[in-house]
């Protein structure tokens, strides 16, 4: 007789679950994105408190929601409430006809996301008349008010210095207008250290050991089924806590409940089904329990374990219940990950004999109780008690080798489906790109040209990295130069720079200096100093506020003869001869109208001598420029270029350049041990990585401590004090060059920014007060220049400033 076949329904059920198990395991990497956050914030030690509105108004309620991520205003009265923005302008109206936002208010764009990464359009002017736009029919508005939460990913200075102690980070206030009355809400942002995670580690470990130990009992199937049921139930409870604290519509709350990638819709139903079948002694379902448990445990561990040591989390559950739910999911899920294979090994079904449909089977021998247990399709159990239990409670029909192979194949098919689904759902931009890296040949370097005309002047953000050679020349206008003469000079410079940047000769006597050379990435950037306003027919009142002369700083020793200036030329290229020729030619063209005040020559690493994209080093041997804003950052333009609509037209799209020649006291520096040099800067000299750990691009952890309990990055380390997090977000695009001048050597510091008052000045004030690097440097040259916007076809540099017709 042929071999009896396993029942079709049971066989297909096993195959289906195998496919699901494979898909779940293959989708595990995607599950990491199932982050339990609300409004962009997860577990945190920052706490936002809010007082009641003063004076109170029945029907108007302001509250902090989503773990400090947003404010919520509800207005059930018949009168509108107007929320004031960051410049005291009307930002939002909330009333019986819904919610309206003012598109003239910068807050409308800044409040759109947790970290204010939305670009504010040029026409958003808080002083302009409101432009109201309806966004909702409800009388409730929720927004990311950046007065109430910590904006940066690094810690405040005081917190970083002592993260184990509580701190008052800031006090804040939000004003509302209601029927001619001012309603004010005040609050505070505090740092509240979290508890010890040890009890929750122990709870997770205990849960895992209990689940694994259940495999070796006579009730293994029932206990593991119960563990799987508990796992799903607790995970549902945890997700419910997050959904309950999520403010918004039913779909928004449902999205928070099931997760961003909806993995829960796959895990929970099949986890329950697997638990039911596992309780009926379907041993193979241990692998499904393993997959569900492993995925939930890993996801919860990666995303939610911080609740164990942080003081608050986005959940409606009590804090300790929330922490316990995370520990149970991690522990039980981890235990099931181990228990699944153990269950299979202990209760693995076997076939009585290798039967085929083509071979007749011998007559069975007489059976006793022992041989009957082996010949029948019962599981082989380990241990006398387990064998007796199995004899009393038979297992369902065995799978057999062919069935087992088919099941594994089905599982593999499911893994392929899951992987394909994960790939299809992924963002192509996240896919790694493997391209051969090659060093450009000298011919490529010489032939590279940078476009002169465009929205911005070249040499600021293009090329993306600094060229290897620099000459900066500052000029004073000659006596008697009027507006027409200045316009003639700028028009002449414009034509000359356009030709030089493309490698074309000017027809001058020194053209042979660069015979055979290409443009070599030549850029020439032109700027105007504060002292130019009031000369050449330009009224002093036309000087923009961003060009206010820099204040004096403690400790600087400036050489007045080599500081400031009416105009500047910033000439950079990848060849010293190309830079020299361009700077000399432009200086010659300016001679009738301006004279050289001072000039500096700088150098960087030559192309091809280091790996492409490597950060340059200064003469102290430290990497310099790691944390520069990058052109692909959403806020790059607002940090580097002038975008405010109140700025004059000639400056919008331009940038402010701070120039500092900083002498390095290299003999003193070289006398320090390497470890002490690294402590002064806050970075390793070899890799450039922060002393808190990681590689060069790893974000510095200013709260990290050493084994001895001290700060890994010292309180007076340069990178700590210069970090935007400790300077109200101040940031600059730095392009440093080294220089040598006789016995003097150091850094030509170039910093581009939209406004020095929000960039260089606050950072420098902090540095001069406490920077450990001050003992080894001396500021000797200082200048500030406003670089006008780029030149379009037919125009010339500074044309708007001089009031000339562009047509």
Number of alpha helices (DSSP H) and beta strands (DSSP E) in the chain: 21, 19
Nearby residues of 324 by Cβ (< 8 Å), 6 or more positions away: 200, 203
CA gap 225, 227 in Å, rounded: 5
**Catalytic residue selected from 624, 716, 755, 771:** 624
Question: Count of residues for the chain?
Answer: 807
β pairing state of 181-191 and 167-178: antiparallel
- 725, 780 contact by CB (below 8 A): no
- 411, 14 contact by CB (below 8 A): no
Query: In the 8-state DSSP scheme, what is residue 553?
Result: -
Neighbours of 262 (CB within 10 A): 11
Tell me if residue 572 falls in helix, strand or coil: strand
C-alpha distance from residue 475 to each of 470, 591, 594 (Å)? 16, 10, 6
Please provide the DSSP assignment of 26-77 as one string: HTHHHHTT----BTTB-SBSEEEEEPPPBS--TTEEEEEETTTTEEEEEE-S
Is 342 exposed, middle or buried (CB count within 10 Å of its CB: 0-12, 13-18, 19+)?
middle
Exposure on the CB side of residue 25, measured as CA atoms within 13 A: 17
| Cα 244 → chain centroid | 28
CA gap 592, 714 in Å, rounded: 53
Say how many Å lie between the first and final Cα of the chain, rounded. 99
Tell me if residue 374 falls in helix, strand or coil: helix
Please provide the DSSP assignment of 245-304 as one string: H--S-HHHHHHHHH-TT-THHHHHHHHHHHHHHHHTT-TTHHHHHHHHHHHHHHHHHHHH
Neighbours of 80 (CB within 10 A): 17
Of the candidates 221, 206, 207, 226, which has an alpha carbon nearest to the alpha carbon of residue 344? Answer: 221
**Run of H or E including 221:** helix 220-245
CA gap 666, 748 in Å, rounded: 15
Exposure on the CB side of residue 563, measured as CA atoms within 13 A: 16
Neighbours of 415 (CB within 10 A): 19
624 is catalytic: yes
Nearby residues of 421 by Cβ (< 8 Å), 6 or more positions away: 23, 26, 27
Catalytic residues: 624
């Amino acid at each position: 007789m042929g071999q009896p076949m396993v029942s079709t329904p049971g066989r297909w059920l096993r195959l289906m679950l195998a496919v699901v198990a494979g898909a779940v395991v293959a989708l595990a990497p995607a599950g990491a994105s199932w982050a339990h956050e609300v409004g962009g914030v997860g577990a945190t030690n920052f706490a936002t408190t809010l007082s009641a509105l003063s004076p109170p108004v029945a029907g108007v309620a302001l509250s902090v929601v989503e773990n400090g991520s947003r404010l919520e205003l509800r207005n059930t009265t018949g009168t509108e409430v107007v929320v004031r923005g960051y410049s005291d302008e009307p930002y939002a109206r909330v009333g019986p006809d819904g919610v309206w936002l003012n598109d003239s208010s910068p807050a409308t764009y800044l409040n759109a996301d947790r970290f204010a990464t939305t670009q504010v359009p040029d026409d958003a002017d808080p002083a302009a008349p409101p432009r109201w736009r309806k966004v909702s029919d409800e009388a409730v508005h929720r927004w990311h008010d950046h007065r109430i939460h910590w904006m940066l990913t690094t810690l405040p200075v005081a917190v970083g210095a002592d993260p184990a102690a509580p701190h008052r980070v800031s006090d804040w206030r939000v004003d509302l207008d209601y029927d001619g009355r001012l309603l004010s809400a005040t609050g505070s942002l505090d740092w509240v250290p979290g508890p010890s995670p040890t009890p929750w580690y122990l709870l997770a470990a205990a849960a895992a050991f209990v689940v694994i130990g259940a495999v070796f009992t006579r009730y293994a199937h029932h206990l593991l089924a119960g563990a799987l049921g508990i796992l799903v139930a607790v995970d549902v409870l945890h997700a419910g806590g997050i959904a309950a604290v999520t403010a918004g519509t039913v779909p928004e709350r449902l999205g928070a409940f099931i997760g961003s990638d909806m993995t829960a819709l796959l895990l929970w139903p099949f986890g329950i089904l697997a638990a039911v079948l596992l309780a009926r002694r379907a041993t193979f379902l241990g692998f499904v329990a393993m997959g569900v448990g492993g995925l939930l445990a890993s996801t919860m561990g990666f995303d939610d374990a911080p609740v164990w040591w942080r003081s608050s989390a986005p959940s409606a559950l009590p804090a300790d219940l929330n922490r316990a739910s995370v520990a149970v999911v991690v522990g039980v899920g981890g235990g099931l990950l181990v228990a699944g294979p153990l269950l299979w090994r202990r209760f693995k079904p076997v076939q009585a004999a290798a039967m085929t449909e083509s071979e007749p089977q011998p007559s069975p021998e007489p059976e006793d109780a022992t041989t009957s247990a082996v010949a029948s399709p019962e599981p082989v159990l380990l241990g006398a008690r387990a064998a007796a239990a199995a004899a009393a409670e038979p297992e369902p029909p065995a799978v057999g080798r062919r069935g087992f192979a088919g099941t594994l194949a089905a599982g593999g098919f499911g893994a392929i489906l899951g992987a394909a689904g994960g790939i299809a759902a992924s963002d192509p931009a996240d896919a790694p790109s493997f391209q051969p890296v090659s060093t450009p040949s000298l011919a490529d370097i010489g032939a590279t040209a940078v476009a002169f005309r465009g929205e911005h002047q070249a040499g600021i953000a293009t090329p993306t990295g600094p060229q290897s050679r620099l000459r900066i020349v500052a000029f004073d206008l000659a006596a008697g130069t009027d507006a027409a003469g200045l316009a003639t000079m700028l028009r002449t410079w414009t034509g000359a720079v356009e030709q030089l940047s493309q490698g074309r000769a000017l027809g001058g006597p020194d053209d042979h200096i660069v015979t055979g050379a290409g443009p070599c990435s030549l850029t020439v950037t032109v700027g105007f100093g504060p002292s130019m306003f009031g000369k050449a027919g330009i009224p002093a009142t036309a000087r923009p506020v961003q060009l206010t002369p820099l204040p004096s700083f403690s400790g600087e020793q400036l050489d007045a003869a080599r500081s400031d200036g009416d105009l500047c030329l910033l000439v950079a290229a990848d060849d010293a001869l190309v830079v020299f020729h361009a700077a000399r030619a432009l200086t010659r063209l300016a001679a009738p109208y301006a004279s050289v005040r001072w000039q500096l020559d700088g150098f960087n690493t030559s192309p091809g001598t280091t790996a492409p994209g490597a950060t340059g080093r200064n003469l102290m041997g430290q990497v310099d420029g790691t944390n520069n804003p990058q052109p692909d950052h959403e806020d790059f333009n607002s940090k580097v270029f002038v975008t405010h609509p109140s700025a004059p037209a000639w400056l919008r799209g331009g940038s402010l350049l701070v120039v500092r020649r900083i002498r390095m006291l290299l003999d003193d520096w070289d006398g320090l041990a390497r470890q002490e040099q690294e402590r002064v800067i806050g970075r390793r000299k070899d890799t450039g990585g922060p002393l808190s750990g990681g590689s060069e691009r790893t974000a510095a952890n200013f709260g990290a401590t050493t084994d001895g309990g001290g700060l890994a990055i010292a309180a007076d380390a340069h990178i700590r004090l210069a970090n935007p997090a400790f300077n109200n977000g101040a940031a600059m695009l730095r392009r440093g060059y080294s220089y040598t001048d006789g016995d003097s050597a150091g850094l030509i510091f170039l910093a581009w920014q939209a406004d020095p008052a929000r960039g260089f000045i606050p950072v420098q004030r902090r540095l001069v007060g406490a920077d450990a690097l001050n003992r080894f440097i001396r500021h000797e040259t200082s200048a500030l220049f406003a670089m006008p916007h780029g030149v379009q076809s037919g125009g010339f540099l500074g044309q708007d400033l001089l009031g000339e017709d562009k047509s």
